[in-house]
Structure 1
Amino acid sequence: MRKHWRFIRKFIESPAQIGSVLPSSRMLVGSMMEAVDWQRANTVVELGAGTGVVTQAINRLRSPQSRFYCFEQDPHMRTDLMSRFPGVWLERDAFELEQVLKQRGPGQADCIVSCLPFANLDDTAREHLLAVIHRTLSPGGLFIAFQYSRQLLPYLSAIYDDVDTRWVMLNMPPACVYICRKKQP
């Protein structure tokens, strides 16, 4: 419950950065996680980890041999995540995704899960970050994101051949999950 209050306080302080007044529900997290073949996801990335609701699910489901990179801009939330998830690489800025993967790992990710509020980014930043995400995904890789509207669909449909959307009504507010697969060569 303490994490929920911290999340609410962060939302009040910076609604554009946090994007929601409450953390993701179990149903939303489950909908995001079920699309991933966790035994084949050797490099996993989470963008916008917040209080770690999605981080915890990924960490529980991923293969023990996989690498997990987690990006969270808020320093207090990032410190909390570091103490709770010692085997996870924690980074600050999602816009540095490409550089981090090139410096620390294979350069590409098999799965990127985003909890970032893309609707709060200006068009240039949104398009740039979506292009970086697409470039860093390995062929056949998955990009999974949730938003509170279908505003992101035209951007994703322009980049990915395969985009599936699912509404999760048992979340506050209801959320749309985007599951995007990068084309195999």
Structure 2
Amino acid sequence: MNIKKTGLAALLALAVLTSMAVPAVAQSGDELADKSVTVDGDTESVYLEVTNTSGDNLNYTVYGISDGLSDEVDSGTISSADENDTTRQEFVANSEEYDEYRVVVTEDASDSDEESADNIEIGTTINQSGGGGGVFAGVGGGGLFTLTNGIIAFAVFGVAYVAGFLDPIKNALGQ
């Protein structure tokens, strides 16, 4: 009879654990977006934009991925309930710790309605800070005398010479 009580207790414990696990699975909701973006030293942030949601919040989860392993780095809700409204959420990218980020957007399964959005966009923003500098900032500094600007000036001068725009200058130098 002790075996029957032990088996019954184990079955009861399994039923309790199973009933507790079911709501956690049901909370995830239907997946609306799932996208991974690669980050590097130039990446400033990862963003999530939603346009014209159905009025209720959408759930999002952000994972940092490194060497195939993922860590949850952020989660929350986002909504843009007004017509033609876009809401943007940004997450600082840590390219030293993660190679890419994965953003998953789901509808809220805890209520009886279904959430949606006209558009869900996931992407990255790039660090725009340049070296700056003055006129002679060099090749990568963004100054006036850069390699690109030199090539453009040479091309413009060549076209002007061939087109004859410099004939008055040639005539003036020849006399």
Q: If each structure's helix is expressed as a fraction of its own residues, which one has the higher value?
A: 1
Do they superpose with TM above 0.5?
no
TM-score, structure 1 as length reference: 0.24
The structure with higher relative contact order (CA 8 Å, sep 6+) is: 2
- Report which of the two structures shows the higher radius of gyration computed on alpha carbons: 2
Q: If each structure's strand is expressed as a fraction of its own residues, which one has the higher value?
A: 2
TM-score, structure 2 as length reference: 0.25
